[in-house]
Structure 1
Amino acid sequence: MKTVSKYCCVLFMILLLLNGCSSSQEKKKDAENMDKEISKYIIDHNKNAYVETEKQFEVHKIYGKTEKKGMVDVYMYSLYEGYNHETMAKPQSGGSRPVFIRLQKDGEKYKVIDYKEPKSGESFVTSIKKMFPSEYAKTTINDSDKAKDLQKMMEKKVNKWLSELKKVD
């Protein structure tokens, strides 16, 4: 009886461990799906706002998000840049800014249903405070390293693109 009991305990622990791993993998995949949709939307949103380039990339830093009834509000900082093959890793256009995005979740997919950028100039800080909850607004306004962190992420994406182009050439 003790052997059966031990066997059941071990089996139960293995099942718990496997469930935790799959839950972790599901969360990672969900976050990747959300990030891909955000980047896709921002690239499409900015295509006509900047000089036309061969390839555009977007990276972002999420300060926080809230989820309610299938809606996900994301408070983030975004870096968008456009590149051309002949100019290699030197951006030809782009910009960076805090962004609010509301996504609607449908199963494993996301759809952007609202997008806001802060006003420029004197209204910049005030508009961030209106767009973001206070803790995220404060972090966004005081985050002096946001562009440096994002630039490293951008360089990885651009270098991957350039290496893929070299393989084709």
Structure 2
Amino acid sequence: MRRMLVSLLIILGVTAGCSSTENQRQKKILEADGYVVKQLRDSQPFEIFIKPEWIPFKSEERLKENHKLVQLNQTTIYLQDVWNRGKFANDIYFSFHTTYQLNRDNGTFMSNNSYNGVGTISSFYSIDAFTIYDSKHHEIIIGETGSGPGSDFSFAVDYDQLKDIKNGFYLKYTGMHVYAYSASENVELDQAANEAISNYIVEHYKDVYSGTDKSFEVHKVYGSAKAGNEIKVYMYSLYGGFNKNSENSMNGHSLPAVVTLKQEDGAYTVTGYKEPQDGDENAKSIKSMFPEKYHAQIWNDKTNSANLEDNLLHEVQKWQASL
């Protein structure tokens, strides 16, 4: 029977020994802050052999290893630590550490985290990503498994299986995705881009809110990043539904959002729209969606709808005056 321990920490590691500037740059790449990250392959499987001399068979013995096992896509994976946990867990626990050697402008890397098209990063975890075999390639039952921080991963072999690993064993790991990254260019949105965003949000909510004559949306842009013909927009949105004879909003909402625009021949299409989760998950969701430099602005804007009420009322008054 497999035992499972899931560690879902999105703490994105950088390479030990790098300068402070390099560490900050690699951190930005891995957090998709100023960089566009896209998946190239869903899985990059690899198989490695764990030598018997790397395994502490003595109870409570712990070996601080630093064996380089895999080097692919500007990513290096080490066997970092092997711990015979004795009576505490009745197993031997193997921990692997992932580091990066990332170029400034573009490149590839491997990660067991998931990056989606609107900047959200979430932990990818599956016990099925781990398979271990003895030296004759007979499968061994795996024990506890874990993931994180960053793209580190770990697993245990229970004492009942120690006889199967005494001559070393193989690990096949399929949990790594391959991503391409490229530096994005900060851009100012023109009127057409802002109108495309507002039109999309009004259309998106037309069946959610009802009972008003017309709906409007205005927004405050924190920043926009362009890579190729795609623009990622970090913003705060205010939406409201109004009737012809009143300047009071009958329904609506205000919230931060991330929008992805595609630009072709001067026209814009919204290809991605993401809002934070509600309730207890709201703060965590905002932190995962937005670069850290925008967090303080968002917390403040949530208290006053980013001071967008006058902008919204201006649009309403223009409409009412045209009737």
Q: TM-score range by the shorter chain?
A: 0.7 to 0.9
Offset at residue 91 of structure 1 (A): 1.0
Report the TM-score when normalising by structure 1.
0.75
State percent identity of aligned pairs: 36
Residue among 155, 158, 169 paired with 2:316: 158
1:149 maps to 307
Offset at residue 51 of structure 1 (A): 2.5
Between the two proteins, the alignment pairs up a number of residues equal to 137
CA distance in structure 1 between the aligned counterparts of 2:263 and 2:320, rounded to whole angstroms: 33
Which structure shows the higher strand fraction? Answer: 2
Letter in 1 for 2:290: F
Offset at residue 146 of structure 1 (A): 4.9
Offset at residue 144 of structure 1 (A): 5.5
Q: CA RMSD in A?
A: 1.8
Q: Which has the larger radius of gyration?
A: 2
Which structure shows the higher helix fraction? Answer: 1
Matches within 5 A, 1:1-169: 31-86=190-245, 88-143=246-301, 146-147=304-305, 149-165=307-323
CA distance in structure 2 between the aligned counterparts of 1:144 and 1:71, rounded to whole angstroms: 27
Deviations 1:3-22 (A, max 9, x none): xxxxxxxxxxxxxxxxxxxx
Query: Please, which runs of 5 or more residues in structure 1 have no aligned partner?
Result: 1-26
Deviations 1:115-141 (A, max 9, x none): 000001111111011111111233212
In structure 2, the residue corresponding to 1:118 is in which secondary structure?
Answer: coil
Report the TM-score when normalising by structure 2.
0.40
CA distance in structure 1 between the aligned counterparts of 2:285 and 2:252, rounded to whole angstroms: 21
137-146 vs 89-98, greater mean Cα deviation: 137-146
Offset at residue 34 of structure 1 (A): 0.3
The answer as to whether partners of 2:215 and 2:239 remain within 8 angstroms in 1 is: yes
CA distance in structure 2 between the aligned counterparts of 1:78 and 1:97, rounded to whole angstroms: 5
CA distance in structure 1 between the aligned counterparts of 2:241 and 2:255, rounded to whole angstroms: 15
Offset at residue 71 of structure 1 (A): 0.6
Query: Please, which runs of 5 or more residues in structure 2 have no aligned partner?
Result: 1-186
